[in-house]
Structure 1
Amino acid sequence: MLDRLLALKEGDTFLVADPWGDLRGGADGLFDRDSRILSRLVLLVGHDRPSRLSSAVSDDNVFFTCHATNRPLPPMGGRSAPGGVIHVERRRFLWDRRLYERVRLTNHGVDPIVAPLSFEYGADFRDIFEVRGTRRERRGRTRPPVADGGRVQFGYEGLDTVERQTWLSFSEPPAALSTERADFRIRLSRGEQFDLFMEAGVEGGETPGRDRWRVAALQARLAMRAKRRRGATVRGAHSPRFNQWLDQSRADVALLTTDLPTGPYPYAGVPWFSTPFGRDGIITAWQMLWLDPSLARGVLTYLAARQADETSTFQDSAPGKIMHETRQGEMSALKEVPFGLYYGGVDTTCLFVALAGAYARRTGDLAFIRKIWPNLLAAAGWMTDHGDSNGDGLIDYARAEDTGLSNQGWKDSEDSIFHADGAYPKGPIALLEVQAYAYSAWRALADLSALLGEGSPAAWSDRAERLRALVEDRFWMEDRGFYAIAVDGEGAPCRVLGSNAGHLLFSGLPSAERAGRVTERLLSGRFRTGWGLRTLASRQPRFNPMSYHNGSVWPHDTALGVAGMAHYGERDAVALMLGELYASAAHFEMRLPELFCGFNRQTGEPPIPYPVACMPQAWAAGSVFLMLQASLGLSIDALARTIRIDRPCLPAGLDRLTVAGLAVGETRLDLIFQRVGSRVAVWPRHQGGPALQLDVAD
């Protein structure tokens, strides 16, 4: 874990660097709006990188700090300095599209020292898809860098005619400055401390210095604090490690959440997915809904504003469809890739409608639902008119052009959907979990139309029930006691055991008997690793625990499946699985990655990381909160002014948990869950507002 990249993010700017804080031109860099505006930034003390002591990102995700010390230094007008006498502290943060960095040198030696300090730098202005490996036949024109006094300017005119600039500046004039390097000679008396400030951003700005650093640092920290304090909080009593997981997960959701004009939106993950994704944003908002409904409102508002109103094969769009992904970079603007505003996600439109229904039930905010009602109807229109391309009653997909995604569910790898013999299915493909989302969408529309007095609730309910019957008939494999992952364009089921069935449980579509059989299979050793649930059962064709989607463990996928089990009354297994994900988090410094390898848990050994997983990832961070809700059996119906708690459970080792500041309309209250013998009791503590009904089933 020591060699992994460490990330900071603020708005549409993010930075990934190695544990020294260096950028070396690989997958790292300072990115702004999908363009890498700084590709190299290496700190040298003498001729070498300093010897690193430790490095970390602060608990609130605002600051990166690296502690290091010098290696033996060459003579500089006197005796050479031995190694280990200069403490080098490198501290940085992002604010307002700008990197702020402070390098602090402290001389702990017995003699005065002249410390040679250098920065090497460069800006390649690569589009993020270039950094990820996409080749381009042509690029724009790189401007010759300009070094002047204490700053350097880099420039690039893209093929999209947009001028991009990076300014790098220092608080002290360097002894030597070029377009590639700045050299300083820092004189340090015994015990003396010296600070050098550096800034890099898209505008020149003022000269860096202590005051600018302090003001920007305070703004960055206050902004993050405000995001972390949205909604209710969850704390375990006498459980510092469990609370550390909760705190880190909440901080990661806050880090990835960008406050847009439409409201807060959780970007998917750093580094490759630091942008609004439809599916990821919806699921993250759903995971956090019981604690912080503002996230769901922000996601719904943003996606409604970008709902498709025309058909484009390049964008995979059709009227009423909800966005899958958006990008701001040069390649997207030039349509070298379709992701400037891309709709190639078959599930996002259904999830959009389903989240609206869940948000309405959680908040009672029917004024907002009425505002987006035309968008919900347009989404339903897409499901009816475009989502079912072959008229068999199932929502399906087939990419319209080769530039689009070949698989358009959440398992979007090229090899993630296949038949029992390993062969790829012919399109259009109807995914199991997409039918689950569509079922939830039709049910949501029935509820919302009744609440708003709009349309025919019975017609929406009828659609949901017809889809339920169709799924039970077309996807169920009686001989395997499980559901097929998909039905292909010829009507043949893909008879493969995948975690997709857990999403079906989450929707509440299966009968209780079939849900029980699916739960039993998901909790078997073929899916359950001891760290979470695999995306694909062992011994299936294409099973590979080191793959992206065919046998790895994705925390959000596990959480949805476990929450689905809870829907059918399962509690003990839910608490058990929560404990297993907690154990996984403990080995990843309390930050669950996007995914990790699906090998079985071995005594005394950690889970095996997936090499290029995003960390942090929004729906991985949100997983703990969805699983906690499922374990507590907690649901909120603001319209009925009721909180229901059904047979709550707590994971092993956690005997008391408090949900503080839970808001339901104008009412705020705390809920205390306490293990009492073999059961978990709950006590409300009213804080203010009209009384609520607390309905508890032991």
Structure 2
Amino acid sequence: MRRDQVLLVRDGTFAALSPSGGITGRRGTAPDGLFRCDARHLSRWRLTVDGAEPSVLSPAADGAVPAVSVLMPRGVRDEPAAYTVFREQAVASGVLLERLRLVGNRPVGTTVRLELVADADFADQFELRSDGREYDKGDGRRSVEVLPDGAEFGYRRGEDWSASTTVRGTPAPDSVRDTGEGVLLGWTLTLPPHGEAELTVRAEARTPGGRAVSEVASPARAAAELAADIEEFALPWVVEGTDRLARACAQGLADLALLRVPATGPDGEELRVPGAGIPWFLTLFGRDSLLTSLFALPYRPALAEHTLLALAATQGTGYDVLRNEQPGRIVHEVRSGELAHFRQVPFGRYYGAVDSTPLFLVLLHAHRELAARLERHARAAVDWMLGDGGLTEHGWLVYTPDPNGLVTQNWKDSAGAICFADGTEATGPVAVAEVQGYAYDALVRTAELAREVWDDPDYAHRLESVAADLRARFHRDFWLPEQDFPALALDGEGRRADALASDAGHLLWSGILDAERAARVGRRLLEPDFFSGWAVRTLASGQAPYHPLSYHRGSCWPHDNAVIALGLARHGLTEELRTLADGLLAAAEQHGWRLPEVMAGYSTTDHPAPVPYPHSCSPQAWAAATPLALLTALRGGH
């Protein structure tokens, strides 16, 4: 999100507004609007008073709920404004709520003409990105219906796709007209001497993938319900703390409460799972939701329960080349927007992740209460790892670049992220280092479930044998003797991709490395070419492909560092853990205690504050959960 945007979020609905509360229809890396289920339901929201946009006396503060801005008609020092506008806004499930209160500043009555222009372009979020792609909307048709108290914007494509946005004012506007560039709602208000008048506006967004719209009637009530939800999710002993870790944890928990989105379980139960992040990823993501839930597990285990059930309900059951679906595979992301519905993008249910499936098994073991219920899903996940995942055929868990979706399918999922030291991209089938660690951990943990929960010792022995073989071969095939460090990956020809990358830190967490090598890797990650002072870089500086503003080839990701921190704790590297935690908490303090998705790779000697990555999501789920992982690590857990 842009720093000049105000963000309001609840139950999978979010509004990105200007500090004055408006929407301009902006596209690109930080679009504004009212969004639900990947569609922009408001693309214009422009307030004028007496024919002009008011000036901002006090902008709305990002993070404040409700968002309140103070506006006034333009005036001069010797002739101050006749009235002031207090604008209060909040969102609930499928709703943007606005209260406008006009306060007269003079001893005589004042008449004010207030107008609000609203429009809805129903653009899919994939259309709004600045990636240069064009999408054919086919027979998609927009409609506008003027109502006595507002307007209804509609969009229909084919027989089974429709969306609508209904805008209504209370009291009803005295004029409503379609201008061709939006619907103008107008009110003529009379302010008594030093008196006031107010009105409310409600915008309801409905889509095929959305649940019922909230009935909440005012921004204040929506804010109160959200505050109660966040308070219930918080940890009192953290919220009351004043040290850096407590403050970062409190902000992280508040953000995780905001980022929960609706999902459905295997038996149709309604769930709330961590959506990955705003603006592009407010939906269920396998890898993101799993790691977020793992970080939060000791403190908020319900997140893990809901995530496991939602992923079990969407687990692959057949073969679909466009979606990369295979039986037993855990989904990468779930979308319900127009382009996903018509399969113009593969992400309606997209399975192009090589790591979601083993991470599902890791989390299931950590949340033992569900192990018996989800035995069938766990066995299917193991079958995928041994079969289509590549463990039997290739000896490793591998991915092949997907020309329709993601070329890279581990957490560093941008093109070119998995590379050699000279910058050459690894070609498939690609076996990424940290994924082999996840696979090893998943096999060991699932074997324990088989023996202790499912009463199947033969199956347990089989998985333990596969895990032991994987671990032995990993030390032989992935280790770079000259660098004394693991390779980033093996390419399709078995060559070691020799770029030095942060993925090695995940190997400490999963336990695939022996103790001596793990200790050497952990210490190496805290040397200056890796550690910026804020966090460990995705690639060590000084290598040909390193770039501090690259998404995955030199930037710093808090969640990546959270996994590294848990690995350092597992191997007793206390000094390195404290150094890493201090850097991350210093970065959190510089961001108002909210860690962003990703930061630039510049060091503390380059600039006294973390340099922002220009396209970072914030809030973002696994970054929000990172302080909780640090808390666990510093307590000796992993």
Instruction: Answer whether TM exceeds 0.5 for this pair.
Output: yes
CA RMSD of aligned residues (A): 2.5
**Which residue number in structure 1 is paired with residue 394 of structure 2?**
392
Equivalent residue for 1:88, pick from 85, 88, 93:
85
**Is the partner of 2:373 in helix, strand or coil?**
helix
Q: Alpha carbons of 1:57 and 1:499: their partners in 2 closer, same or farther (altered >3 Å)?
A: same
How far apart in 2 are the matches of 1:35 and 1:446?
43
**Which residue number in structure 2 is paired with residue 370 of structure 1?**
372
**Which residue number in structure 2 is paired with residue 98 of structure 1?**
95
**Which residue number in structure 2 is paired with residue 641 of structure 1?**
none
**Which residue number in structure 2 is paired with residue 672 of structure 1?**
none
1:520 pairs with 2:532? no
What's the CA shift string for 1:102-138, capped at 9, x where partnerless? 1222233455433332212211111111112441123
Residue 257 of structure 1 and its aligned partner are, at CA, apart by 1.2
**Which residue number in structure 2 is paired with residue 663 of structure 1?**
none
What's the CA shift string for 1:342-380, capped at 9, x where partnerless? 1000100010011111222xxxx2xx2111011111000
The count of corresponding residues between Structure 1 and Structure 2 is: 613
**Which residue number in structure 1 is paired with residue 623 of structure 2?**
620
Residue 478 of structure 1 and its aligned partner are, at CA, apart by 1.9
Equivalent residue for 2:547, pick from 540, 544, 555:
544
1:56 pairs with 2:61? yes
| Amino acid in the other structure paired with 1:51 | V
Residue 450 of structure 1 and its aligned partner are, at CA, apart by 1.4
**Which residue number in structure 1 is paired with residue 333 of structure 2?**
325
**Is the partner of 1:267 in helix, strand or coil?**
strand
**Is the partner of 1:438 in helix, strand or coil?**
helix
1:198 pairs with 2:195? no
**Which residue number in structure 1 is paired with residue 575 of structure 2?**
572
Residue 236 of structure 1 and its aligned partner are, at CA, apart by 7.6
**Which residue number in structure 2 is paired with residue 174 of structure 1?**
173
Residue 417 of structure 1 and its aligned partner are, at CA, apart by 1.1
**Is the partner of 2:474 in helix, strand or coil?**
helix
Q: Alpha carbons of 1:550 and 1:144: their partners in 2 closer, same or farther (altered >3 Å)?
A: same
Residue 24 of structure 1 and its aligned partner are, at CA, apart by 0.8
What 5-or-longer segments of structure 2 have no aligned partner? 208-214, 266-270
Residue 240 of structure 1 and its aligned partner are, at CA, apart by 6.2
**Which residue number in structure 1 is paired with residue 439 of structure 2?**
438
1:412 pairs with 2:413? yes
What 5-or-longer segments of structure 1 have no aligned partner? 74-79, 205-210, 636-698
**Which residue number in structure 2 is paired with residue 655 of structure 1?**
none
| Amino acid in the other structure paired with 1:137 | D
Q: Alpha carbons of 1:582 and 1:108: their partners in 2 closer, same or farther (altered >3 Å)?
A: farther
Contact 1:150 1:171 in 2 (8 A): yes
Equivalent residue for 2:33, pick from 14, 29, 38:
29
How far apart in 2 are the matches of 1:411 and 1:249?
23
How far apart in 2 are the matches of 1:318 and 1:154?
39
Equivalent residue for 1:38, pick from 32, 42, 46:
42
| Amino acid in the other structure paired with 1:120 | V
**Which residue number in structure 1 is paired with residue 16 of structure 2?**
16
Question: TM-score, normalised on structure 1?
Answer: 0.83
Q: Alpha carbons of 1:68 and 1:583: their partners in 2 closer, same or farther (altered >3 Å)?
A: farther
| Amino acid in the other structure paired with 2:125 | I
Q: Alpha carbons of 1:243 and 1:231: their partners in 2 closer, same or farther (altered >3 Å)?
A: closer
Contact 2:428 2:491 in 1 (8 A): yes
Contact 1:57 1:65 in 2 (8 A): no
Residue 623 of structure 1 and its aligned partner are, at CA, apart by 0.1
**Is the partner of 2:277 in helix, strand or coil?**
coil
Question: 1:360-509 to 2 correspondence within 5 Å?
Answer: 360=368, 365=369, 368-388=370-390, 391-400=393-402, 402-452=403-453, 453-456=455-458, 457-509=460-512
Q: Alpha carbons of 1:135 and 1:513: their partners in 2 closer, same or farther (altered >3 Å)?
A: same
How far apart in 2 are the matches of 1:451 and 1:553?
39
**Is the partner of 2:40 in helix, strand or coil?**
strand
Residue 271 of structure 1 and its aligned partner are, at CA, apart by 1.0
How far apart in 2 are the matches of 1:52 and 1:277?
40
How far apart in 1 are the matches of 2:241 and 2:275?
33
What's the CA shift string for 1:530-570, capped at 9, x where partnerless? 11111111012221111111111111111111111111012
1:107 pairs with 2:111? no
How far apart in 2 are the matches of 1:498 and 1:398?
20
**Is the partner of 1:268 in helix, strand or coil?**
strand
What's the CA shift string for 1:437-494, capped at 9, x where partnerless? 1011011111111112124222222221111111111111121121111100000010
| Amino acid in the other structure paired with 2:591 | F
Residue 87 of structure 1 and its aligned partner are, at CA, apart by 3.4
What is the percentage of aligned positions where both structures have the same residue?
33
Residue 512 of structure 1 and its aligned partner are, at CA, apart by 1.5
How far apart in 1 are the matches of 2:538 and 2:246?
28
Q: Alpha carbons of 1:222 and 1:202: their partners in 2 closer, same or farther (altered >3 Å)?
A: closer
Q: Alpha carbons of 1:379 and 1:242: their partners in 2 closer, same or farther (altered >3 Å)?
A: closer
Contact 2:90 2:222 in 1 (8 A): no
| Amino acid in the other structure paired with 2:191 | L
Q: Alpha carbons of 1:398 and 1:535: their partners in 2 closer, same or farther (altered >3 Å)?
A: same
**Is the partner of 1:136 in helix, strand or coil?**
coil
| Amino acid in the other structure paired with 1:155 | G
Contact 1:439 1:464 in 2 (8 A): yes
**Is the partner of 1:94 in helix, strand or coil?**
strand
| Amino acid in the other structure paired with 2:471 | R
How far apart in 2 are the matches of 1:185 and 1:539?
65
Q: Alpha carbons of 1:142 and 1:72: their partners in 2 closer, same or farther (altered >3 Å)?
A: farther
How far apart in 2 are the matches of 1:203 and 1:269?
21
How far apart in 2 are the matches of 1:610 and 1:110?
51
Q: Alpha carbons of 1:140 and 1:82: their partners in 2 closer, same or farther (altered >3 Å)?
A: farther
Contact 1:140 1:156 in 2 (8 A): no
Residue 604 of structure 1 and its aligned partner are, at CA, apart by 7.3
Q: Alpha carbons of 1:231 and 1:137: their partners in 2 closer, same or farther (altered >3 Å)?
A: closer
Residue 145 of structure 1 and its aligned partner are, at CA, apart by 1.4
Contact 1:578 1:628 in 2 (8 A): no
Residue 10 of structure 1 and its aligned partner are, at CA, apart by 2.2
Q: Alpha carbons of 1:222 and 1:154: their partners in 2 closer, same or farther (altered >3 Å)?
A: closer
| Amino acid in the other structure paired with 1:195 | E
Equivalent residue for 2:562, pick from 543, 548, 559:
559
Q: Alpha carbons of 1:227 and 1:356: their partners in 2 closer, same or farther (altered >3 Å)?
A: farther
